[in-house]
Structure 1
Amino acid sequence: MRALVGLGLVLALGACDASEPVKPAVKEAPEVKLATVALDAPIRVLGTEPFWNVEIAPAGLVLTRIDQQPLTAPNNGFEANGNVVLWTSAMPDQTPIKITLTGTDCSDGMSDRIYPLSAMVEIGTETLTGCAASVEALSRASEAGRVE
C-alpha cells in the first residue's frame, strides 16, 4: 500500500513542471470615459469663426487652422478631475497648448449637431472655444442630431 501511495506522489510531482512560471490572471484596465467619449481613442475638438480643429491621438495633438500648416505637439496624456479632462503640451516653437474638455453637451453654433463634450483650447494667450467628440462618432454622424 505504501508503495502505491509513494508511486502516486512521484507521479503527481512529476506532472508539475517547475520550469513553467505561473502566469497571473490578466485584468483589463477599465475604459476611461468623459460623458460617452472614450479617452483612449482619437478625439476631435473643433470650433467655428474661424474654423479650427485639434485631433487628440496617442501620436500627438494636431492643431489645424484654415490657410495654415498643421502644428503638432506631443500627447503627454491627460489629467481627469471629475467631469473635466485636461491635456497640456507645447507646440514646436514652445508655445504652450492646453486642451480642456468638459462632459457637457455642446452646440458648435453653425450646425444642428449636439456634441457630447464642450471644449476650450488655450494656445499661448489665445483662447478658442468649441465642441468635441470621438473621431469615430463624427465619422458616423449626420448633419443634425446627437454625435454618438
Structure 2
Amino acid sequence: MPPITHKTLLSVMVVAGLSLAACYDRNDSAPKPAPVPETAAELGGVDLSRPVRVLGTEPFWSIEITPDALVYTGVDQPEQRAPNRGVTVQGTVATFTTTTSLNQPLNVSLIATECSDGMSDRTYPLTARVEIGDQTLNGCGASTAAIMAGGESGPVVEPAAG
C-alpha cells in the first residue's frame, strides 16, 4: 500500500466534503414553523364562521359574534365591542378570546351540549360561559339565524337552506 501523503489526504477530504455538501440542505437545519392548529368551523351543528348569538338571563345579556367582532350588551351595562381574533376549537369546546373597547378581557367558551335558558321552553345546541372583566356569565348559544327563525318553544335549530 502506498504511503498516504498530505496531497492524497487533502483529496479524500475534499471529495468527502463535496459528497456531504451535495446531501446537505440548509432548510433541513432551519427551524420548522409550528403546525397550524386545526380548528373546526362547526361545533354542535353550529357554523362558527357565521353569526352566532350567546345569551343569558338574570341578568339579561347577550353577545353577538360575527366574523369581525364580538358585541356585548347587558341590562344597565354599556355596550362593549371587541375584535373577533378567531376561534380555537378543542374537542367539544370553542373559545373566543379578545379585549373589549372598554379594555376588559372577554372570553367566550361554547360547549357542544344542549342548553336551556331557564326562562323559556327553548333548548339551544350550545352552552356558554362568558368571562368579561371580573364578571362570569352562564347562558346558551346558537346561530343568529336559528334563534331568529325559532319559535317560543322547542329546540333552536338551523333553518333549512334554500
TM interval, shorter chain, is 0.7 to 0.9
Provide the TM-score with structure 1 as the length reference.
0.77
Q: Which residue, 3, 25, 48 being the options, matches 1:39?
A: 48
**2:151 match: secondary structure:** coil
Identity percentage over the alignment?
48
Note the C-alpha offset of 1:108: 0.3
Unmatched 5+ stretches in structure 1: 1-30
RMSD of aligned C-alpha atoms? Answer: 1.4
Q: Distance in 2 between matches of 1:36 and 1:50?
A: 27
Q: Distance in 2 between matches of 1:60 and 1:118?
A: 20
**2:145 match: secondary structure:** helix
Note the C-alpha offset of 1:89: 0.3
* Higher CA-based Rg: 2
**1:137 match: secondary structure:** helix
Which residue number in structure 1 is paired with residue 149 of structure 2?
140
What per-residue deviation string (whole Å, max 9, x for no partner) do you get for residues 11-70 of structure 1?
xxxxxxxxxxxxxxxxxxxx7210110010000000000100000001200001123332
The one-letter code of the counterpart of 1:72 is R
**1:136 match: secondary structure:** helix
Q: Which residue, 48, 72, 86 being the options, matches 2:95?
A: 86
**For the Cα contact (< 8 Å) 2:53–2:64, is it kept in 1?**
yes
| 4+ residue segments displaced more than 4 Å | none
Unmatched 5+ stretches in structure 2: 1-39, 158-162
Provide the TM-score with structure 2 as the length reference.
0.71
